[in-house]
Structure 1
Amino acid sequence: MTGALDRPTPTRRRSLDADRPSPSFVREYAPDVFGRGRTITAIAAAGFFGGVFALLAWLVLDRTSLPAYSTSMVTRALATAGTVAVLVAVGVLTALWLLDEHRAPDTGVTRPRWRVALTYAVSYLSPAGIVVATLAIPLSATRLYLDGLQVDQGFRTQFLTRMTETATNHDMNYIDMVSYYPIAWFWMGGRLANLLGLSGWEVFQPWAIISLAIAGCILVPVWQRLTGSLPVATAIALVTTCVTLVMSPEEPYAAVIAMGVPAVCVMLRRALLGSWFATLGTIVFLGVAASFYTLFTGAVALSVVAVAAVFTALITRWWVPIIHLAVIGFGSIAIALITWAPFLWQALTGPEVLESTANHFLPQEGTQIPVPFLAPSVIGVLCLVGLVYLVVRFHDLDIRVMAVMTIGFYLWSLASMVATLAGTSLLGFRIDILIVLMMSTAGVLALAEIRLIGIRRLYPESLPLETTRKITLAMLVIVLAAGAYYAQDIPARNENAIDHAYRDTDGSGERADRYAPDAASYYPEIDEHLRAEGFEPTDTVILTDENRFLSFHPYHGFNAFTSHYANPLGEYSQRSALVREWADDSWTSIDSPESFRDALDDSPWHRPDVFIFRGEAEGSVDGWKTHVAEDIYPNQPNVRYTATFFNPEVFADEDLWTVEQIGPFVVVSANNA
């Protein structure tokens, strides 16, 4: 009896059809399998309509006046109601779908066309429904995304703001520099902002919701192709979406890649055994992944090489896996170069001294290996079932690939801990989501196989048809209840991040919870002042530690927020040293406006056109304050901010500088810049 992902082991003669299920497999487990053409069409349709559904839902919610999530239970109740409604709709239609198979196991299944269409529509769009219910509804009364402008969200918002202003490859912060961070997700978000007439900071929320919805919906036809079962594909897509919304919703460009990793693992077996269709799918995934988030790409790529080595040495003992691995490598690199080539060219040909501290981060969760199968939760139980399944079904090639890839992710996590001896890390804690997704996916496949053949093995004698129907319905109800219990808790799991979205002051100078905003409420006035002085944001460089100002408005920063987010071409440490030198010397050797201006002009980089300080424009004795960030890894926290004071006297010449007090800020702009 074939199992959830069984395929006959291909011989050389049959290798080109390695992705095709056998006839017995189709009868037992793959009644809904699609051909290649219909699969491509289904993927495109699911992604398009999933994105449209999420966009329309966001537009409707954006025009409502729901109370803030942080101050009312109304939004929470609506989120739960929406989540349960989506899962119940999927559950009812799935039950009818499976009962149809029980009624006609031998003669072929016939269903009303309207119900087939409705089942496909609901199944394909259900991940988008979960995203809307658990993210869009809780965030409907704020224009910020999860975590507001806290820490990493500041630079992500700045990147979106930059990409809204330009369609070219450009660094989020430094002027006249290409981007180091993968640009694809942010570039597409910028185009959406242009389409909707939104600012970069405003598009973060809808684009995150839409992209997560698209990724979740695409998984349904992908897994339908891999498993041949619409119910199983829908279950995997929903579990993947829910786990992602709990573990990594604040980083959507990484989350959408993580969601596809289990599928590409199963796809890899077909690719290495000769399927060019699966090879093409793997190429596209790895190429897109490298354009979205390189960490996951690196972990998956190394695991792919390991799997190819295992296949070549122990299973096939011929060259097809190596050939397909080479094609996958060159093909995915070609796609990745669309976004990476400009940076690589500038790095190879430019005079800049490259420096990067992006990996200088080791939080507590990075010091422990993830063991999700021991967690006392619904997903913990599912991961435990998945772990058992990976061990018991290791002889199956698809499951073997999943197991080897999972081991590879664990090794990455361990290697990250060891890398601390070299003064860096591999950010292994971010791989946790890949491990959980692999095990939870295996858990769904295990439950599908138990439903299909487990009862028959426990009771070899034939069971009455009515009994098998009841068993199917009972399993479906239990799974549905467990899923609803887990999914309805997603907003609560993200409560702190949602609260920040309501508490942080947005780009309009307001807080969504209607409390008094902080000093960021003066940012719009600063922007108006600078524009009135003739400064075009995209041509202006500002020296400031007011990172949120650069997140909301497309001015360039003289230096990045911290070295961890800085472009390696930006020479962060040298710029920081120069800022300290300017500040210190403004009290001694360059204490006149003319000498200070000359020192700025001697900068090896585009000098600051504007300074935004904290202080008082008149009567300041201690000077005007800004901060310089310093990497102090391996300490945690890994950043130290040092106050730096500039002498107001160096800006006292009205022919050279315009000084304006705006709220708590002193805004100094160069005349004749």
Structure 2
Amino acid sequence: MADKQDTNATKHQEPLFVDDDRYEIFDDDQLSLKAGLLGLVAALFGGAASALAAWFVLHRLSLPAFGGSQLTRAVATAAIVIILVATTVLLYFFATKGADNRPRWLTWLTYLVSYLSPAALVIAAVGIPLGSTKLWLDGLSVDQEFRTEYLTRMTAEFGLHDMSYIDVASYYPAGWFFLGGRLANLLGIDGWEVFQPWSLMTLAAAGCILVPVWQRLGGSLPVATGIALVTTAVALATVADEPYAAAVAMGLPAMSVMAWRGLGGAWSAMIGVIVFLGISATFYTLHTGVGALIVIVLALVAWASARSWMPVLRLAVMGVGSMVIAATVWGPYVWAVLSGKPRSGATATHYLPADGAQLYLPMFAASVIGVVCFVGVIWLLVRATEPDARAMGLATLVLYGWTVASMIATLVGQTLLGFRLAAPITFMLLTAGVFALADARLNGVERYWPQAASPRVARKVTSVMAALLLLAGIGYAQSIPNKIHGAIDLAHTDTDGNGERADRFAPNSGTWYAEVDRTLRDAGLVPSETVVLSDEKNFQALYPWYSFQALTSHYANPLGEFDRRNEALEAWSKIKDPDQLIAAMDAAPWRGPDAIVLRGEAKPVGGKDAGPLTLDIADDIYPNNPNVIFRNLSFARSVFDKHWNLKQVGPFVVAIRQ
């Protein structure tokens, strides 16, 4: 495999790519820049539209709950087999017949199936198992509480509003949630309910986009489809619960290759990096930061090897361009910080699970993915002098460097959340592994067994590799629902926004949330103008009332001053006089609660004292794992004798300020 030099620009008549090094073996299906852009747009909208259409169909069927029946598993497995077999067979004939011998219908059908195969895999492996519930993976548990809360906020109000605090500039990147809110408005559904279709569309579109992108970069439709499918499969099995982060991670290998080409002068590649980093900054901060660091390291290497300042200048152009896009979401928060707004209490980096205390080495896993990653490592080392392999190799080193730096950062009371880079590392090595397999097939026989390198032998080798890869792919893909079985179960056992459980068992206290919401509205309160104090995390996630306090400090907006609000709540819980409580709330530097949702009894029951009304608050206890502890605050019943109207709603007492 040799590098092509400036002759590529002449051959393809693309002056913007005068430096665009490509591998000879992958030039057969090379897309022009125009065709690549058209393919990207088609893949984006085709993948998203097909996922949305499938979601509509699946939720009009009567599939049994995934955990209680093997029927859903069987349907999912059958769909996976059909998708992978059809894609592999079409690509086999597409590749072996050659461009001059392929009928037009085969070419068009292969493109259609290849470009949409990642979306079909998303629907088969995750969409079908979730077809009997309205919730996404993990239901409303753990981190999905705050993500659902953010979607609910963005659905209820147009603009960049904080998920919890009123009149505070948004902190957590709002791009994905803002677009999801618009989809909910278009479909006429609530924010919590749009989580599932929007996640399916996101993962499907991200996987489909990889096909034209890698076909443009690598020059081969079969190789591009292989990268897209294996990346999508691993994303579904590992990080699908956080779809916006998964989408960014899936694109990091391609961004690394584009960055290297862009630093060499390929302006279309520079634009690709600008758009990727800009959009990713509106989706997920960590992966954007790592991606930016990759580009910086590549620029330093290019500067040192070329002995020219041009790579640094191009780095500046990419940095400024991406920041302009990022400012569409980050602008209000940055302005608030520059304006001197007080900040405290946020602890986003205070999390160190077991995965964050060791180096992630997927190449040694006893699985098909481990084998592909291992082959990818070998390929990166052997092909280290090739431009694209060099870019991915350096990017992989940056990812590992960030992971090690995260471990060291624990000494100063922080982390860099290095455990979340397991997926990008895997995607980088998997991409290299797919290239390695293609390299071995297309160069190995000719180079090491030239006397047998006839078309007939080449077809046999291709047939054997295709069959083995197909079986390996089916084996891994059909296991995806089992790998995320716990997350699927939570989607069926958590009580949704309709007060129901998808498995038809009795719901929890969430069945009363609708009545709590109705009580607040009947009192004349409006969600977009009202602050509610409550420790009912799922109520905050399902209904768009602003919160006096965020769920935990780890996803709280720094401008909200989580720690100081906790101190205020502790002080308020010790007050016994109604007038003093109102005075303390009014004296706080933040908008006080217009209503409070507590646990307890509004009135004595059976002649007994009603007892205190209780509320939980969360404390950060990093470096412990779990890193959050909840403790109980008790409010004297008498403190609500004045200034508040109390109403009993199931196990809750709703106190509405007069």
Q: Which range, TM-score by smaller chain?
A: over 0.9
**2: CA distance, partners of 1:212 / 1:11:** 34
Within the candidate set 653, 658, 661, 2:645 is matched to 658
Residue 610 (structure 1) aligned with residue 595 (structure 2):
yes
Matched with 2:358 is: 368
**2: CA distance, partners of 1:439 / 1:604:** 50
Residue 554 (structure 1) aligned with residue 544 (structure 2):
yes
Quote how far apart the aligned CAs of 1:19 are: 5.4
- Could you list the per-position Cα deviations for residues 126-177 of structure 1 after superposition, in whole angstroms to 9, with x for gaps in the alignment? 0000000011100000000000111110000000000001121110000111
- Point out where structure 1 has 5 or more consecutive residues left out of the alignment: 102-107
**2: CA distance, partners of 1:90 / 1:131:** 15
Within the candidate set 262, 267, 270, 1:276 is matched to 267
Residue 212 (structure 1) aligned with residue 203 (structure 2):
yes
**2: CA distance, partners of 1:200 / 1:605:** 27
Residue 31 (structure 1) aligned with residue 31 (structure 2):
no
Within the candidate set 137, 150, 162, 2:153 is matched to 162
| 8 Å CA contact 2:6, 2:19 repeated in 1 | no
Distance 1:399 1:384, change over 3 A: same
**2: CA distance, partners of 1:478 / 1:373:** 19
**1: CA distance, partners of 2:215 / 2:530:** 51
Q: What is the DSSP-based 3-state SS (H/G/I as helix, E as strand, rest coil) of the residue aligned with 1:353?
A: coil
| 8 Å CA contact 2:647, 2:654 repeated in 1 | yes
- Could you list the per-position Cα deviations for residues 501-556 of structure 1 after superposition, in whole angstroms to 9, with x for gaps in the alignment? 00000011000000000011100111111111111111111111001001000000
**1: CA distance, partners of 2:525 / 2:78:** 49
| 8 Å CA contact 1:90, 1:126 repeated in 2 | yes
**2: CA distance, partners of 1:436 / 1:490:** 16
| 8 Å CA contact 2:154, 2:191 repeated in 1 | yes
Residue 668 (structure 1) aligned with residue 644 (structure 2):
no
Matched with 1:346 is: 336
Quote how far apart the aligned CAs of 1:355 are: 4.0
Matched with 2:631 is: 642
Q: What is the DSSP-based 3-state SS (H/G/I as helix, E as strand, rest coil) of the residue aligned with 1:70?
A: helix
| 8 Å CA contact 1:29, 1:452 repeated in 2 | no
Within the candidate set 58, 64, 69, 1:72 is matched to 69
Q: What is the DSSP-based 3-state SS (H/G/I as helix, E as strand, rest coil) of the residue aligned with 1:388?
A: helix
Q: Which amino acid aligns with 2:154?
A: M
1:275-354 correspondence runs (5 A):
275-314=266-305, 316-354=306-344
- Point out where structure 2 has 5 or more consecutive residues left out of the alignment: none
Q: What is the DSSP-based 3-state SS (H/G/I as helix, E as strand, rest coil) of the residue aligned with 2:502?
A: coil
- Could you list the per-position Cα deviations for residues 295-315 of structure 1 after superposition, in whole angstroms to 9, with x for gaps in the alignment? 01111111211111111112x
| 8 Å CA contact 1:623, 1:648 repeated in 2 | yes
Quote how far apart the aligned CAs of 1:30 are: 1.3
Quote how far apart the aligned CAs of 1:652 are: 1.6
Residue 111 (structure 1) aligned with residue 102 (structure 2):
yes
Quote how far apart the aligned CAs of 1:114 are: 1.4
Distance 1:397 1:251, change over 3 A: same
- Could you list the per-position Cα deviations for residues 156-202 of structure 1 after superposition, in whole angstroms to 9, with x for gaps in the alignment? 00000000011211100001111101010000000000000010000
Matched with 1:479 is: 469
Matched with 1:104 is: none
| 8 Å CA contact 1:613, 1:624 repeated in 2 | yes
Within the candidate set 567, 573, 576, 1:583 is matched to 573
Q: Which amino acid aligns with 2:87?
A: V
**2: CA distance, partners of 1:218 / 1:530:** 45
Residue 89 (structure 1) aligned with residue 103 (structure 2):
no
Matched with 1:105 is: none
**2: CA distance, partners of 1:11 / 1:127:** 30
Q: What is the DSSP-based 3-state SS (H/G/I as helix, E as strand, rest coil) of the residue aligned with 2:195?
A: helix
Distance 1:487 1:650, change over 3 A: same
Q: What is the DSSP-based 3-state SS (H/G/I as helix, E as strand, rest coil) of the residue aligned with 2:65?
A: coil
**2: CA distance, partners of 1:237 / 1:557:** 41
Identity among equivalent pairs (%): 49
1:443-482 correspondence runs (5 A):
443-482=433-472
Matched with 1:191 is: 182
- Could you list the per-position Cα deviations for residues 87-120 of structure 1 after superposition, in whole angstroms to 9, with x for gaps in the alignment? 011011011111102xxxxxx5232221111110
| 8 Å CA contact 1:541, 1:606 repeated in 2 | yes
Q: What is the DSSP-based 3-state SS (H/G/I as helix, E as strand, rest coil) of the residue aligned with 2:421?
A: helix
Q: What is the DSSP-based 3-state SS (H/G/I as helix, E as strand, rest coil) of the residue aligned with 2:630?
A: strand
Quote how far apart the aligned CAs of 1:21 are: 5.6
Q: Which amino acid aligns with 2:482?
A: A
Residue 536 (structure 1) aligned with residue 526 (structure 2):
yes
**2: CA distance, partners of 1:194 / 1:353:** 33
**1: CA distance, partners of 2:169 / 2:309:** 40
Q: What is the DSSP-based 3-state SS (H/G/I as helix, E as strand, rest coil) of the residue aligned with 2:596?
A: strand
| 8 Å CA contact 2:165, 2:549 repeated in 1 | yes
Matched with 2:616 is: 627
Matched with 2:404 is: 414
Quote how far apart the aligned CAs of 1:10 are: 9.4
Q: What is the DSSP-based 3-state SS (H/G/I as helix, E as strand, rest coil) of the residue aligned with 1:626?
A: strand
**2: CA distance, partners of 1:547 / 1:93:** 49
Within the candidate set 492, 495, 510, 2:485 is matched to 495
**2: CA distance, partners of 1:259 / 1:361:** 23
TM-score, with structure 2 as normaliser: 0.97
**2: CA distance, partners of 1:259 / 1:147:** 21
Number of equivalences: 651
| 8 Å CA contact 2:30, 2:216 repeated in 1 | yes
Residue 145 (structure 1) aligned with residue 146 (structure 2):
no
**2: CA distance, partners of 1:517 / 1:59:** 25
Within the candidate set 239, 242, 255, 1:248 is matched to 239
